[in-house]
A and B are shown apart, each in its own frame.
Chain A
Amino acid sequence: MTGQYSSPEKNKIRTALWDRAFNDYAKIEKGLIDDLRYFCMPSAECIYEKHLVANRKLTKRNIVSVEKDYDLSIPIREFLGGEGIHLEDSLENLTRQDKLLLFSPFDIVNLDFCGQAFVFSGQQYQQRWSAIEYFFKKNYEKRKSVFYLLLTIFGGRSSSVGKQFLLDKITQLNDITGLGKNPTSWKEDRLIQEVLPSIIVDMGLKHNYYTGSADIEGYRYRQTGHRCNMVAFYFKFRLLDPKLGSSTIEKNNLFNAALSYYQNDAKELTL
């Protein structure tokens, strides 16, 4: 297990996507690091969180972490040192019980899942989507004007139902955009990578958050020494201004605009 998350590929993802969120928060949104509330699902080594505290001066008090494993929670708690908040349960359980309410809203939400998202059989995987949606809900309740979602999921092991869903989505995206992407030769990670942003954008709009293609970035990658492909994304969301309107038509327009990400081929990470 040691070193599992310190591969060159993972480090590149951290730099390209995760650091992007912090940079944007500081430079574009002029946010103060002391005010930044960060949600994460760290590894036992807390590699990225240690970097944030040491180099970006993130306040530990503003870190909310989740890990369901008893043993892995020990070094995470040690790192947080009684300053940051650590909740020992699955994210799905915590969000279902609304246990993050008191610690929200969040400026940067880092959902670094290890598991798959397109299984659609049984509660466990549907709850993963509910868990993602939860953050939109909680941030909207507090009218958070801007927040960042970093999402990493397993690029495979979808069920047949899940795979069909993804293929159907590609057809739908082709229709909406007028593009004729052909998924026949794609591996599962590419399939997921092409579809997932549209799901997240749609989810955001449902909760009055919008994004644009310039604020979406993703990669598929495989870590050295691993057999599994992962897909990782960066999203920046803004609260819908009531002046812009939140009617179905306007939201539809915003959705279509965001889909311009689909014009480009989904990127594979290169070192």
Chain B
Amino acid sequence: MDRVKNIIPNPVKEMIEDHLIKVLTAGTYTTFAKAIRETVSNSYDAGASKVDIIFEPKELLETTNASTTVIQIHDDGMGLDSADFWEKFVSIRKSKIPSKKDKTTGRYPIGQFGIGALAFLPFVQGLSVYSKKTGSEPVHGRIDALKVMETSGLSYADHITKNCELSLVSDAKWNDISNNATSGTIIRIDGINEDVYKYLLRGSPDFEEAGIFDKYANLTKGLKEIMWHLSTVLPLNYEYDEAGVYDSYKTALKSINPSISVQISSVTLMRRIYAQKGCKKYPFIYEDSKDKVKATGVIIANPSITKPKHANGIMLRLNNVGIGSFQFFGFKGHASAQTRITGEIHVEGLHDELENSRESFALYREKFSKLNEALMKALQKSVTAAADLSTKKSENRRAQEENRIANKITEIQKAGLEKAPISKGSGKRTSPTQKPNLKEQYGRKTADTFTDPIDMHYKIRSDHALFKKYRGISEKETLRTVLIAMKLAQLPEDSYQKVIKALIRLKEKK
């Protein structure tokens, strides 16, 4: 039988009265995705090597509602005992010192404020935690999130203890719930608010999900967005990239902080370098011994637009954690070439240069400003390279297209159409050496009947025999080939003027 007893909390050390509520409502954690990130960061700081986050599958999420939605987070970290629950889980500890390695975990802390799972409070209805620390009895804590978020006039410590419960659980129960884990923490969210529920289903309006976790049918758009965010910022392992950038630049991309494994709904998150085959790679090395700042990484100029579009830019990582999103830090170059840039840079020694939100570095701070200058130069170089690559690519493409058209023309000529003199201006056919055999060539019922391949709106009649015969790789190529074929066949001037017009309109559209 489970032994359950209420634990009277010890006086909570270093709690800041009402600070938690203020922090939570001040917009520090403005999104649910960031709350998840903070919880995972906390697991990391607790020495976890694996974190599993389990959402309801899409099929269920679409049919359920906010109040019955359950989310679970499992980690294999050090866990909590009863004292830890009050002193760590439901309190804000002093800000962790990210520049100082934790002796127990051997890691530089990455969680902000030590707020951990409490970051969920603005978004959820109920929060429950099971945890076991090696050598201690497992505990079960329940937090009434809705009540905690209300102001009560009580001191923080009283407010929290009034709205939280803690009990011990038996080892047998812990073993059943945790699959016999020796230590770890399980957080269970029971019910989320309506906005978060809608977000989970639909994501943000400006988030483009194309190319992001496409092969997973059980993921909603919101979930993909969360996974995208976490896969770009958390300390994860790099996965294979088709351009082999990670393999070539392992040393430059190595961090002082180890990586952990994070799964969301059975999908393992990996960090990726969005380099394409044929890209140009620019290693980035920066060191300022006076300021004790280092930065190493790689900037990539892709041959075409970086995909997904959210990976366009450079990601700076501190302690192996992404700061903000992929961005250009104020750089503005050749617009089209800039869309081809991506990259990763690991920095050290810039902890003091972070803004409070930890979403960006403060450009007005000297150390970062110097690094930024070096970054601008590197970006200029890579954007120029991207522009060159793009030009070369266009030239190649044009040359290939000309080749294909030339081959088709040769075919047409071999088929027996002689090159007749082209009338100038009059639009009338000059005496041809051979009248075009429209019936034979284009399958018309009578030789004199010819239907324009372009309709009155300058759109291609795709079932027209000409287009069937001379279809190219692109609409432009097709039109150009058809135009030449019509000219060679001395088809009516006004017909191929229409084709020319269609070509012009195509160019204007682009």
Contact = CB atoms under 8 A, between A and B. Distances in A.
A74 B186 contact: yes
A102 interface: yes
Given A74-B186, A77-B70, A102-B63, A82 B177 contact: no
A75 interface: yes
Residue with the greatest number of chain A CB neighbours at <10 A, chosen from B52, B172, B177, B263: B177
Contact of A44 (B52, B177, B217): B177
B74 interface: yes
A85 interface: yes
B266 A82 contact: yes
A83 interface: yes
Interface string A30-73: 00000000000000110000000000000011000000000111
Residue with the greatest number of chain B CB neighbours at <10 A, chosen from A1, A77, A86: A77
A155 to B, nearest CB: 25
Given A83-B218, A83-B265, A83-B266, A77 B63 contact: no
B7 interface: no
B179 A78 contact: yes
Interface string A80-101: 1111111110000000000000
Nearest to B53: A82
A78 B52 contact: yes
Contact of A82 (B57, B186, B188): B57
Contact of A81 (B70, B186, B266): B266
Contact of B172 (A1, A45, A78): A1
A2 interface: yes
Given A81-B263, A88-B70, A2 B176 contact: yes
Nearest to B178: A75
A83 B172 contact: no
B492 to A, nearest CB: 58
Contacts of A75: 176-179
A74 B72 contact: yes
Contacts of A102: 59, 63
Contacts of B56: 82, 85
Contact of B265 (A45, A72, A81): A81
Interface residues of A, number: 24
Interface in B180-219: 186, 188, 217-218
Given A74-B72, A77-B54, A102-B63, A82 B176 contact: no
A78 B72 contact: yes
A103 B176 contact: no
Contacts of A78: 52, 54, 72, 74, 179
Nearest to A84: B57
A50 to B, nearest CB: 10
Nearest to B68: A88
B178 A81 contact: no
B436 to A, nearest CB: 57
Contact of A72 (B70, B72, B175, B176): B176
Residue with the greatest number of chain A CB neighbours at <10 A, chosen from B54, B186, B188, B265: B54
A61 B57 contact: yes
A85 B176 contact: no
Nearest to B62: A102
B264 interface: yes
B246 interface: no
A54 to B, nearest CB: 14
A75 B178 CA distance: 6
B130 A74 contact: yes
B504 interface: no
Contacts of B464: none
A100 B215 CA distance: 27
Nearest to A82: B265
B270 to A, nearest CB: 17
B130 A82 contact: no
Interface in B233-276: 263-266
Contact of A83 (B57, B63, B74, B175): B57
Contacts of B130: 74
B172 A2 contact: yes
Contacts of A86: 60
B173 interface: yes
B188 A74 contact: yes
Contacts of B173: 1, 71
A81 B188 CA distance: 14
Interface in A103-123: 103
Contacts of A71: 173, 176-177
Given A83-B218, A83-B266, A74 B52 contact: no
A82 B264 contact: yes
B326 interface: no
A45 B178 CA distance: 10
A171 B58 CA distance: 51
Given A1-B172, A1-B176, A77-B70, A82 B54 contact: yes
A2 B175 contact: yes
A94 to B, nearest CB: 12
A56 to B, nearest CB: 18
Interface string B153-191: 000000000000000000011011111000000101000
B55 interface: yes
A85 B60 contact: yes
B186 to A, nearest CB: 6
Interface string B25-62: 00000000000000000000000000010111101100
Contacts of B54: 77-78, 80-82
B55 A82 contact: yes
A66 to B, nearest CB: 12
Interface in B121-172: 130, 172
A72 B63 CA distance: 23
Contacts of B265: 81-83
Interface string A126-154: 00000000000000000000000000000
A81 B74 CA distance: 11
Contacts of A72: 176-177
B179 A60 contact: no
B175 A81 contact: no
26 contacts: A1-B176, A45-B176, A45-B179, A60-B266, A61-B57, A61-B218, A71-B177, A72-B176, A74-B72, A75-B178, A75-B179, A77-B70, A77-B72, A78-B72, A78-B74, A78-B179, A81-B265, A81-B266, A82-B218, A82-B265, A83-B57, A84-B57, A85-B56, A85-B57, A86-B60, A103-B59
Interface of B: 52, 54-57, 59-60, 63, 70, 72, 74, 130, 172-173, 175-179, 186, 188, 217-218, 263-266
Given A2-B176, A75-B177, A83-B266, 4 more contacts: A77-B54, A77-B72, A82-B56, A82-B265
In the A-B complex, list the 9 residue pairs whose CB atoms are closest, starting with the nearest.
Answer: A82-B265, A81-B266, A82-B54, A44-B176, A85-B60, A74-B177, A82-B55, A83-B266, A102-B63
